[in-house]
Structure 1
Amino acid sequence: MRLALIIPTRNASAHLDRLLPALAAQTRQPDSILVLDSESSDDTVARFRAFGARVEVIRVAQFNHGGTRRLGCQLVEAEALLFLTQDAIPAAPDSFARLLANLTLEADIGVAYGRQLPHPDAGLLAAQARQFNYPSQSRTKRMSDADELGIKTCFSSDSFAVYRRDLLEAVGGFPSNVIGSEDAYVAGRMLLAGYAVRYAADACVEHSHDYRLVEEFRRYFDIGVFYGRERWLRNTFGKAEGEGQRFVRAEINALRAVGAIARVPEVLLRSTLKLLGYRLGYLERYLPRQMKRRLSMFPGYWK
């Protein structure tokens, strides 16, 4: 099975000292590497080209989480499409090999996404978020799991994920215009079409974010926009709010475990901002465009 690696980038230079050696060390090398760069002002393009990757530069205004990945699929020829973000660093030489093995484990698996570990310098809450969303046990998810897992059934992350091209195309591919969560969109379509989503806990990358309070608010505004526009996901798999309550409890328990209970007010404030951002995003159709540009992490989306 031919494997194409597709990496969207913008000013990725700070990550390349770790990322490029990790790519070179993979025991399963991709048959091709495509970098879709959004007009980087640093040396991202030059370094990837020197590494041997094909680099296509697109205008910043043309970038879209779904549309850019859709373009990437059209520019490569391979049966397996591996997506990686610029700040997701393969944690072991066999990360790609293990992820691909999970994709081919059963005939109906359309996408396999890997485990995300915190970066070495990640803060406590960032590390806890990785542990909550990416447990140590692998699992194959199908529509029959929706009653148990709810919205987590269609949870997936193309920060590190590999898709079977034929099944991706069978469900219409990546959406051409979404603000984010294109991975959940595709996973939901695959599940509804009778395909499976595989979580591969043995295929790992280091990938985490220490978001500031304002960044957290904006991120959840965008998530709310997505679910407000793609209401079929909520109608099919359930609301995201219940999962958020579980997440808050897990954060508080993590603080207690290390004697950092004094940070609980921070968790509560952060959670309040997330909820506020999500609900504003969900109701964005009532907001003026200029306000949405100011609230979003991706103001360029609101053309």
Structure 2
Amino acid sequence: MRVALIIPTRNAGAHLDRLLPAIAMQTLQPDEFLVVDSASRDDTVVRLRAAGARVEVIEPTQFNHGGTRRWASELVDADTLIYLTQDAIPARADTFANIVTDLHAEVGIGVAYGRQLPHPDAGLLGAQSRHFNYPAQSRTKCMNDAPELGIKTCFSSDSFSAYKYEALLAVGGFPDDVIGSEDAYVAARMLLSGYAVRYAADAMVHHSHDYTMFEEFRRYFDIGVFYGRENWIRQAFGAAGGEGLRYVKAEIAALRRAGALYRLPEVVLRSAMKLAGYRLGQVEEQLPLSIKRRVSMFSGYWR
């Protein structure tokens, strides 16, 4: 079995001091290490080539969350594809080994995604987001779980994931052109085709964000655009249901444990901003292009 590690990068220098040693310490070393770099202006390309990676450089305007990952999958010769983002730092030496083990633990699994722990310097709310979405218990999800989990059934994350290449091909590969959430797209296709999605809690990376309120708005605008355009996913799996309310309750509980209930108005306002962004994204076809470029986190998508 051949394993390829694929990382999209852009100006990743700030992360490489942690990322490169974490990759070098892995007990499972990839047979191929491919980086697709969007014309970084720092030393990203030089350092990654020195670390043994094959680096393909593209223009930033060529990058697409789905299309670039699709192209990268065609550049390697491997049975298993590990995708990692530049700011997802393997937390243990067995991170790669564990996700590959989980991916192949059952015949029907098509994709596995790992557990994301907050970065050591993560803020309270950024850390809580990781704890809520990435619990300590592994789980295999299939279509039978949709009545319970709704749209969370196809939740996956290419910040750290591993795919069986044959399963990826069987469902048509990554979409050529999406604003984001290509991981949910492929997971949904796999589930509808009879594959399972594996959450591998023992495969850990450090990955978190401390978004501002406006960044939350922009992020959820993009998510709304995705699900508005890919309405088949909601039709197949249902809506998020009470997930948003459960998330807010978990945030409030985290504030209480930290003695920070004074931040409750912030949590309420952030939740409102997320909802507003998501709803606006779902009606993006009614917005002028200039507005979409301004409010989207992936402004380059609206070229």
Tell me by how many angstroms 1:133 deviates.
0.2
Tell me by how many angstroms 1:223 deviates.
0.3
Match in the other structure for 1:6:
6
Tell me by how many angstroms 1:241 deviates.
5.3
Match in the other structure for 2:135:
135
Q: Does the Cα contact within 8 Å between 2:84 and 2:158 map onto a contact in 1? A: yes
Q: Give matches, 1:228-267, under 5 Å.
A: 228-240=228-240, 242-267=242-267
Tell me by how many angstroms 1:257 deviates.
1.4
Match in the other structure for 2:194:
194
- Give the secondary-structure state (helix, strand or coil) at the position aligned to 2:242: helix
Write the deviation string for residues 190-229 of structure 1: whole angstroms up to 9, x where unpaired: 0000000000000100000000111111000000000000
Match in the other structure for 1:215:
215
- Give the secondary-structure state (helix, strand or coil) at the position aligned to 1:82: strand
Match in the other structure for 1:171:
171
Q: Does the Cα contact within 8 Å between 2:150 and 2:241 map onto a contact in 1? A: no
Distance in 2, matches of 1:248 and 1:241, equals 13
Tell me by how many angstroms 1:242 deviates.
2.5
Match in the other structure for 2:21:
21
- Give the secondary-structure state (helix, strand or coil) at the position aligned to 2:40: coil
Distance in 2, matches of 1:133 and 1:237, equals 18
- Give the secondary-structure state (helix, strand or coil) at the position aligned to 1:36: strand
One-letter code of the match for 2:283? L
Distance in 2, matches of 1:243 and 1:61, equals 34
Write the deviation string for residues 39-95 of structure 1: whole angstroms up to 9, x where unpaired: 100000000000010000011000000000001001000000000000000000000
Tell me by how many angstroms 1:258 deviates.
1.6
Q: Does the Cα contact within 8 Å between 2:220 and 2:275 map onto a contact in 1? A: yes
Q: Does the Cα contact within 8 Å between 2:113 and 2:162 map onto a contact in 1? A: yes
Tell me by how many angstroms 1:240 deviates.
2.6
Range with bigger deviation, 26-35 or 249-258 = 249-258
Distance in 1, matches of 2:221 and 2:66, equals 18
Q: Give matches, 1:24-173, under 5 Å.
A: 24-173=24-173
Distance in 2, matches of 1:273 and 1:134, equals 23
- Give the secondary-structure state (helix, strand or coil) at the position aligned to 2:172: coil
Match in the other structure for 1:271:
271
Tell me by how many angstroms 1:6 deviates.
0.2
Distance in 2, matches of 1:33 and 1:241, equals 40
C-alpha change, 1:11 and 1:241, in structure 2 (3 Å) is farther
Range with bigger deviation, 203-212 or 253-262 = 253-262
Tell me by how many angstroms 1:140 deviates.
0.3
Q: TM-score, normalised by structure 2?
A: 0.99
Distance in 1, matches of 2:267 and 2:163, equals 35
Distance in 2, matches of 1:193 and 1:245, equals 31
Distance in 2, matches of 1:126 and 1:300, equals 25
For structure 1, list consecutive stretches of 5 or more residues without a partner in the other structure. Answer: none
- Give the secondary-structure state (helix, strand or coil) at the position aligned to 1:65: coil
Runs of 4+ in structure 1 off by over 4 angstroms are none
Q: Does the Cα contact within 8 Å between 2:179 and 2:298 map onto a contact in 1? A: yes
Is 1:284 matched with 2:284?
yes
Tell me by how many angstroms 1:277 deviates.
0.3
For structure 2, list consecutive stretches of 5 or more residues without a partner in the other structure. Answer: none
Distance in 2, matches of 1:51 and 1:280, equals 43
Distance in 2, matches of 1:5 and 1:180, equals 20
Tell me by how many angstroms 1:298 deviates.
1.1
Q: TM-score, normalised by structure 1?
A: 0.99
Q: Does the Cα contact within 8 Å between 2:115 and 2:135 map onto a contact in 1? A: yes
Q: Does the Cα contact within 8 Å between 2:114 and 2:203 map onto a contact in 1? A: yes
Match in the other structure for 1:225:
225
Distance in 2, matches of 1:135 and 1:51, equals 33
Distance in 1, matches of 2:143 and 2:241, equals 20
Distance in 2, matches of 1:289 and 1:227, equals 19
